[in-house]
Amino acid sequence: MRRLKLIRVIALAVWVGVPVGADAQEPSTRAETLQREREEKAQNLTPPQQGRLERGLMDLESGRVFERLLNPAEGLYPKIGNITTGSGFSLGPGYRYPRLFGGQVEFSSFVAASFTRYWMIDARLEAPRLADGRVGVGMHAQRYDFPKEDFFGLGPDSSRDNEVIYGLRNTVIGGYGTYRPMTWLNLTAGVDYYNPDIDAISEDDSLLRVFSPADAPGVLVQPDFLRYSGTVEVNNRFPRGNPRRGGRYAIAYHRYEDQDVDLFSFNRVDIDLQHYVPIVRDRRLLALHARAVLTDADAGAEVPFYYQPTLGGPDDLRGFRHFRFRDRNTMLFQAEYRWEIFTAVDGALFYDIGKVAPRRQDFHLSEFERDFGIGFRFGTVNGVFLRVEGAFGSSAGAHFILRFGNVF
Amino acid sequence: MCSKRPVPTGRPYGLWGLAIAAIVGAGLTLTTRSATPAFFPDDPLQVDNDRALDAGKAVRIEGSNAYDFAEQTFLKPGDHEPRPAVNVNTIDEVPDSSWFTNRIGRRAMSLDEIVRGPNTLETPNIDEWPVVEGKSSGITPGYRVVAPDGRLYQVKFDPPSNPEMASGAEVIGAALYHAIGYNVVQGYIVDVDPAKIIIGHDATTVDLRGRKVPITQANVDRLLRVSAKLPNGKYRATLSRFADGKPLGYFKYFGTRPDDPNDIHPHEHRRELRGSRVFAAWLNHDDSRGLNSLDMLEGEPGRQWIRHYMFDFGSIMGSGSTTPQAPRAGNEYIVEWGPGFKTLATLGIYVRPWILVDYWEEAKSVGRFEGDFFDPVKWRPEYPNPAFDNMTPADAFWAARLVSKFSDEAIRAVVAKAKYSEPGAAEHIASTLIKRRDKVLRAWLTGVNPLVNARIGPDNVLTFENAAVEAGIAKPPTQYQYTLSSFDNATGVATPAIKGGVVGGTSGRIEAPRLEIGSPSPVLRDAAYIQVSVSTIHPDYPMWSNPVTFTFRRNGTQWETVGLDRTSKSVVKK
């Protein structure tokens, strides 16, 4: 019996060893092997999965939602940014319609307000590409209220301790024409009507609580003005939005005609020179900026303090408060060394000097206010979206700057 | 301590032992017979039939540029385990499939065939082909038209600042990628006569507010204003024919499509995707990413399958589509921390070497394209690509061999297809492609032991070619050393018959390698398979001493090549 049992075990073992079943299961060709893998996968097909983030980004891109919402070429959009220097962050609705008269004329408008109660309404009708793009004309209307403009007094020796505020309301209506004989040359002429109004007493720290009317010409009476302008601009910056070479050299003459009291008519000349010196194939560059604003009142007249040029703030003397220095004439020199760190991220070392003076003959090249600093710019060749800077070395201490757009 | 105990003869230990032996033997039999053989009868597979199962349920995959950039840059998706490509056949080649069709790598192509590429038409005249819709994606201006046969085409215009640049790149890229073996759409250079543009009855586009609106003449005029105008008043453009089938979006360079039963090989381990890094480097196709691919569903309902396309070559060879390509392109990822932080920390005193490269700027139709600074090994796409990252020396060698098939004459003929009108433009593009091709070959055709095309002739002589020598980028080696073995296909065990065989001498050069395998040893006499492992001894390329193992299968009186292994993982019996 035991022998029989063993024989059965052997027989079973031998039978099991016969690879009939195995041969039936194993593929006999490479193609069959692959086919079986595919058949196995076919049993477990699932639709492609995308996470919420990917779906969201995809929707934004495919619908061009960012572009359509934030900066559409047509329709409603949010006006985001600064209304003016010192206004702080502002927001409001904007509207564009670029297809009037077969696309020749564009209408644009916005209303914006800031958390510091600055606000502005602006409307424009422009035909920027007439005569094969060589001629542009436009008209605009604007109303704004800047309730907390800084004033430290006039002249280079004004004191920071005398900081006061005033409110400036204004209505501007005007028009302009531009002729571009060459792509790099712009000739512009325009006329504007101004209706300024100063509030110098309503706040505790208002201007007239510290300064006398003699210290702030025009604080008691604000006539309407007609302003005539002419500008010559040579612009061969490249790329235009975030220049790496070339320059912009502009001189503008403005004539402010007092329409009411004949006490505040004056001339103003703005000279603005930007020059970009590529050092290492546009990846390093020196950006140089010189600006002079010269005013000249008519005989017996004065330049109203609120139309006198200023220095100080995130766009010129960055180590100082907004409008820290104000007088009839200003001079500013800025030098920046910019270097590309990553695509879309530049570093910048900067040095600013500037001064104000009551008379042009006081513009000797000494006794400048100065600052220096370091910053980062985020953007593309088309423009700087954001800049973050620290300004140091001034008599006013360190300043941190977070600002949309380039410095100049 | 141990003692030897006698086995009583009257007890049935013998039968039990036999039973145990039978069970063990049966197990071994099972193991042996069910193990996958090294070579199947249909090896080497020339066609991977990845159209066999119905993929009709596959759905369209849309992608986000921002997400793709962030995912590839910061998350590094896909399998990055080092391993050989998974879709190669046993002779280390890529079988034809819905991804790739061997063309110039498998057969000689005439110049006309290379230049024609995927195109089936002569230069079409699209006068009065109606505009039917706006162009929905991309940064170049354009619209879609319908041909008289009802087929849909896309028209893309060159930028005014760089006439002929993007369109030239598009047709050259399409022709080269097609000859290499990829699926590409048909593309033509056309001159569009503005007076002959007809707006279709129901033509629509998406307006500035994202609404679907009728296309007007003002739309067309606005588009032409930002397009390159020729001296004859026409506008040069690329005309691309829409691929057959239903669009399913794009393929990723990692994973597989979960809704396609035929897609079983992870894309990051597909040879033709890994190796496409070589072609991208050659052509500076820095925009080679998943979103520039295209999946199309073809076939009849119930028998549908997906064809995979390479797509959009307008930003290769120094063209950035609407502007010349940025100098960084091909040299560095968009975000590459090391050089960025060095630049930051040194306030820009550290200058990345590529910044100092000089480019030829004599023709606006040529973007930033050069061959002197180009280093194929250091070449980078815009951001990481999992398949590119996984490229092995064997993948690169495979691709470099394909690049080596493009002669100077072929390259010049393809460049002529772009119809560059500026003096020197075509010559610069062609000479740069040739220069870059040579660098590609030197970098990647020499990275592995470059032996290919092994054959045993009727005279029992083994011949093979040295691809690097054939391409003229390396001198002949001093010696080949080989081992000749019989090979057990079931177990994968090789039994050497001749070890340490030498062809050539240390002081000489082998011009025509021939290994005599006649008069074989007894182990070869009845072998169904034999293997020859060949090491190449070359003073300039020490890595060539890693053997290439060729496997041959007896077929009557002939031997057919069934295996080529550069990884040398064969089990060799000592």
Mean pLDDT over the full length of chain A: 91
Residue A12, pLDDT score: 46
Q: Are A158 and A133 in contact (CB under 8 A)?
A: no
Q: A28–B258: do the CB atoms touch at under 8 Å?
A: no
* A67 touching chain B per CB within 8 A: no
Q: If phi over 0 gives left and psi between -120 and 50 gives alpha, with beta otherwise, what is residue A300?
A: left
**Amino acid letter, A287:** A
What is the full per-residue pLDDT of chain B (574 aa) written as tens digits? 433 333 333 333 344 444 444 444 444 333 344 468 999 999 999 999 999 999 999 999 988 999 999 999 999 999 999 999 999 999 999 999 999 999 999 999 999 999 999 999 988 999 999 999 887 666 678 899 999 999 999 999 999 999 999 999 999 999 999 999 999 999 999 999 999 999 998 898 877 666 788 888 888 888 898 899 998 999 999 999 999 999 999 999 999 999 999 999 999 999 999 999 999 999 999 999 999 999 999 999 999 999 999 988 999 999 998 899 999 999 999 999 999 999 999 999 999 999 999 999 999 999 999 999 999 999 999 999 999 999 999 999 999 999 999 999 999 999 999 999 999 999 999 999 999 999 999 999 999 999 999 998 887 788 899 999 999 999 999 889 988 899 999 999 999 887 777 777 544 445 445 666 655 566 677 889 999 999 999 999 999 999 999 999 999 888 999 999 987 543 444 3
- Among A7, A29, A28, smallest CA distance to A19 is for A28
Say if the Cβ atoms of B351 and A284 lie within 8 Å: yes
Query: Strand (E) positions, B104-182?
Result: 130-134, 142-146, 152-157
Residue A354 lies in a domain: yes
Same domain, A108 and A225: no
User: Cα dihedral angle (A236, A237, A239, A240), rounded to 10 degrees?
Assistant: -90
Residues written for chain B: 574
Cβ-based contacts of A283 with chain B (< 8 Å): 348, 351-352, 355
- A63 belongs to a structural domain: yes
Pair of tokens at residue A7: 């024989």
Query: Residue A130: exposed, middle, or buried by beta-carbon count in 10 A (0-12, 13-18, 19+)?
Result: middle
Helices (DSSP H) in B35-126: which residue ranges?
65-70, 111-116
Residue A47 lies in a domain: no
Cβ-based contacts under 8 A for chains A and B: 171
d(C-alpha B184, C-alpha B288), whole Å: 13
Residue where a domain stops, chosen among A112, A127, A142: A127
In terms of domains, do A216 and A83 share one? no
pLDDT at B57: 95
Whether residue A307 is found in the same domain as residue A188: yes
Provide the chain A residues 311-370 that lie in CB contact (below 8 A) with chain B.
337, 339-343, 345, 347, 349
Q: Tokens 């990846």 correspond to what residue?
A: A283
Q: Has residue A307 been placed in a domain? A: yes
Q: Which of A57, A284, A339 sits opposite B67 (nearest CB)?
A: A57
Tokens standing for residue A49: 């999965």
Helix residue ranges per DSSP H, B417-478: 425-444, 467-470
What is the identity of the amino acid at A202?
A: S
Answer yes or no: are the C-beta atoms of B190 and B184 closer than 8 Å: no
End-to-end CA gap in chain A:
108
Dmax of chain B from CA atoms? 111
ipTM: 0.88
Is the separation of the CB atoms in A86 and A312 below 8 Å? no
With CB atoms and an 8 Å threshold, state whether A47 touches B258: yes
Q: What is the token pair recorded at B12?
A: 């049935």
More confident residue, A406 or B460: A406
Contact B67 A54 (CB under 8 A): yes
Q: How many CB atoms lie within 10 A of CB A157?
A: 8
Q: Which of B11, B28, B62, B135 is the best mutation test for A, with the most CBs of A within 10 A?
A: B62
Instruction: Report the SS3 class of residue A297.
Output: strand
Torsion angle defined by CA atoms of residues B325, B327, B331 and B332, in that order, rounded to the nearest 10 degrees:
-90
Report the pLDDT value the prediction gives residue B415, as an integer from 0 to 100: 98
Of A127, A153, A183, which residue is a domain's last? A127
CA distance A333 to chain B (A): 22
Domain ranges of chain B: 65-108+254-306+323-444, 118-247, 451-572
Question: Do A160 and A92 fall within a single domain?
Answer: no
A185 within some domain? yes
Angle (nearest 5°) at CA A173 between A171 and A175: 155
Q: For residue B41, which residues of chain A lie inside 8 Å, CB to CB?
A: 28-29
**Cβ–Cβ below 8 Å for B348 and A99:** no
Q: Which of A16, A39, A343 sits opposite B53 (nearest CB)?
A: A39
User: Which pLDDT band holds residue A405 (cuts at 50, 70, 90)?
Assistant: confident
Residues A315 and A246 in one domain: yes
- Is residue A252 located within the same domain as residue A116? no
Cβ–Cβ < 8 Å for B153, B135: no
Place of tokens 């549908």: B304
d(CA B209, CA A72): 7
Same domain, A67 and A211: no
Is residue A250 located within the same domain as residue A199?
A: yes
List CB contacts of A1: < 8 A, sequence separation 6 or more. none
Chain A partners of B138 at a C-beta cutoff of 8 Å?
none
Residues in B touching A47 (Cβ below 8 Å): 59, 258-259
Average pLDDT over residues A332-358: 96
Half-sphere exposure in the Cβ direction for B86 (13 Å, CA): 18
Q: What is the mean pLDDT of residues A308-329?
A: 95
Q: Which residue has the tokens 């879309």?
A: A344
Burial class (CB in 10 A: 0-12, 13-18, 19+), A243: buried
Based on the domain organization, do A98 and A157 belong to the same domain? no
Q: Identify the pLDDT of residue A352.
A: 97
Neighbours of A148 (CB within 10 A): 20
Based on the fold, state whether residues A385 and A321 are members of the same structural domain. Answer: yes
Share of chain A above pLDDT 90, in %: 73
**Is A342 close to B340, i.e. CB distance below 8 A?**
yes
Let me know whether A292 and A364 are in one domain: yes
CATH at A390: 2.40.160.50
Q: Is A308 exposed, middle or buried (0-12, 13-18, 19+ CB in 10 A)?
A: buried
Residues in chain A, how many? Answer: 408
Mean pLDDT of A180-200: 96
**Average pLDDT of the residues in A191-202:** 95
Instruction: Provide the angle, in degrees to the nearest 10, between the axes of the packed helices B276-283 and B165-180.
Output: 150
Q: Please report, rounded to a whole number, the percentage of residues in chain A having pLDDT higher than 70.
A: 93
Residue A11 lies in a domain: no
Judge whether residue A247 has pLDDT over 70: yes
Per-residue exposure over B205-235, b if at least 16 CB sit within 10 Å of its own CB, e if not: bbbbeeeeeebeeebbeebbeebbbeeeeeb
Q: How many helices (H) does chain B have, and how many strands (E)?
A: 14, 19
A260 touches chain B (CB under 8 A): no
Q: What are the tokens at B569?
A: 């993982």
Q: Which residues of B touch A9 (CB under 8 A)?
A: 19, 22-23
Name the nearest CA neighbour of B528 among B548, B494, B555.
B555
pLDDT tens per residue across span A30-56 = 999 999 999 999 999 999 988 889 988
User: Lowest-pLDDT range, A81-95, A236-250, B29-43, B324-338?
Assistant: B29-43
Question: Residue A275's Cα: distance from chain center in Å?
Answer: 19
Query: Which residue range(s) make up the domain with A261?
Result: 131-404
Name residue B134's beta-bridge partners: B143
Residues 6+ apart with CB under 8 A from B574: none
Q: Which CATH class is domain B451-572?
A: mainly beta
Residue B16 near chain A (CB below 8 Å) = yes
The phi and psi torsions of B219 (rounded to 5 degrees) equal -60, -45
The pLDDT score that the predictor gives to residue B26 is: 40
In chain B, which among 254-283 make CB contacts under 8 A with chain A?
A: 257-264
- The pLDDT confidence band at residue A249, using thresholds 50, 70 and 90, is very high
Cα(A300)–Cα(A304) distance, rounded to whole angstroms?
Answer: 13
In a domain, A9, yes or no: no
Examine the fold and report which residue of A127, A152, A187 is the final residue of a domain before the chain moves on.
A127
Neighboring chain B residues of A73 at a CB cutoff of 8 Å: 208
Residues of B in contact with A22 (CB under 8 A): 30, 33-34
Task: Report if residue A163 sits inside a domain.
Answer: yes
**Tokens 């302003």 sit on residue:** A227
Q: Report B:125-164 residues touching A (Cβ under 8 A).
A: 137
Task: Tell me the CA distances in angstroms from A113 to A80, A95, A110, one per residue in order.
Answer: 10, 15, 10
Return the structure tokens found at B303: 């028998």
CATH code for residues B118-247: 3.30.1010
The domain tally of chain A equals 2
